[in-house]
Amino acid sequence: METIDQITINFKPDQLTLLNVCLAFLMFGVALDLRISNFRDVLRQPRRPVLGLISQWVLLPALTVGLILIFRPAASIALGMLLVACCPGGNVSNYAVHLAGANAALSVMMTTVSTLGAAVITPIYFNQLSTLLPDTRTLAESIFVPLPKMINTILLLIVLPLIIGMLTNAFLPKLTRIIKKPVKVLSMAIFIGFVVVAIYGNYDNLINYLHLVFFLVLIHNALALIMGYNFARLTGLDQRDARTISIETGIQNSGLGLILIFNFFDGLGGMALIAAWWGVWHLISAFSLAMLWNSRRIVPLHTNSTNV
């Protein structure tokens, strides 16, 4: 077993509780922007979200398993890559899609569906796909997590806040308008503060081991973005939808990955480093790509151009 498989990220119980509350609060804030009207046009053409979810739920995990088999990283790093790939879309994807001039309604639809489905899909995918990786089998067995317990955690921290936020927006619109901005500012401030404290408490581990995951995350994320775009174009979608599916495929809810790692895997070093660095890197890559696309004119729907 490699050294990184044996280290753990330092985390106190009260810090873990704060992270749990922070993630739930973030999901509540995201849901305050969700309206039924956002989905109406998308539902008229279900082929687009279905193809997007295929890219996210089928192609991304398959790509991840392929990369692990090619690069053969340490077992805990491989498990971290797989867990991130099995997480739902990240909430910052909606803003990145808007910035890219892509299909914001499709983005919101995909993020919501993948988040609601995460309660079942994330733990089942992770448990089943981890058996395909022979180098991780021993480690995975030593940190076995009961499926119902993981499902329950995702329901409480992700799905429930999302539903509460959507109901608040639907039935208490005046309250929603009042609290929307403060909730977003507060939740982001708490999250940034948490990240700073966590980095400070684990500075030595980051210095010693970040190089092991830096380029692996870069390659993994870049291929996810490229794959999402080209899959959408090859299946006949226009550039706006292809940009959307690209960003939704490349941005995963690594915050949920960290929650699961600290709740169920004792902060296992390689897993935590992958999830933490993915959370940083996908912001850089997604917003860089969004700004690039923002500067480029969307090709009209009737053309057949496939230029990125």
Query: Residue 16, class by beta-carbon neighbours within 10 Å (0-12 exposed, 13-18 middle, 19+ buried)?
Result: middle
Residues 308 and 305: their CA atoms lie apart, in Å, by 9
Does the residue 24 lie in any domain?
Answer: yes
Q: Is residue 244, in this structure, part of any structural domain at all?
A: yes
Q: Give the count of domains, the chain.
A: 1
Q: How far is CA 78 from the centre of its chain?
A: 16
The parent domain of residue 245 ranges over 3-294
Residue among 87, 73, 56 at smallest CA distance from 232: 56
Residue 9: predicted pLDDT = 58
Q: Is residue 92 part of a domain?
A: yes
* 40 found inside a domain: yes
List per-block mean pLDDT (blocks of 10 residues) for the chain, which spans 308 residues.
Answer: 56 62 76 70 80 95 94 89 89 79 83 82 86 68 62 79 86 89 77 65 70 90 96 94 94 83 77 84 86 74 44
pLDDT at 194: 63
Is residue 258 in some structural domain?
Answer: yes
Question: What is the reported pLDDT for 145?
Answer: 57
Residue pair 127/83 in contact (Cβ under 8 Å)? The answer is: no
* CATH number, domain with residue 204: 1.20.1530.20
| Stretch (H or E) spanning 78 | helix 75-86
Residue 272 has a pLDDT of 83
The answer to whether position 76 is within a domain reads yes
CB atoms within 10 A of CB 233: 21
Report yes or no on 114 lying in a domain.
Answer: yes
Contact 16, 262 (CB under 8 A): yes
Instruction: Specify if 69 maps to a domain.
Output: yes
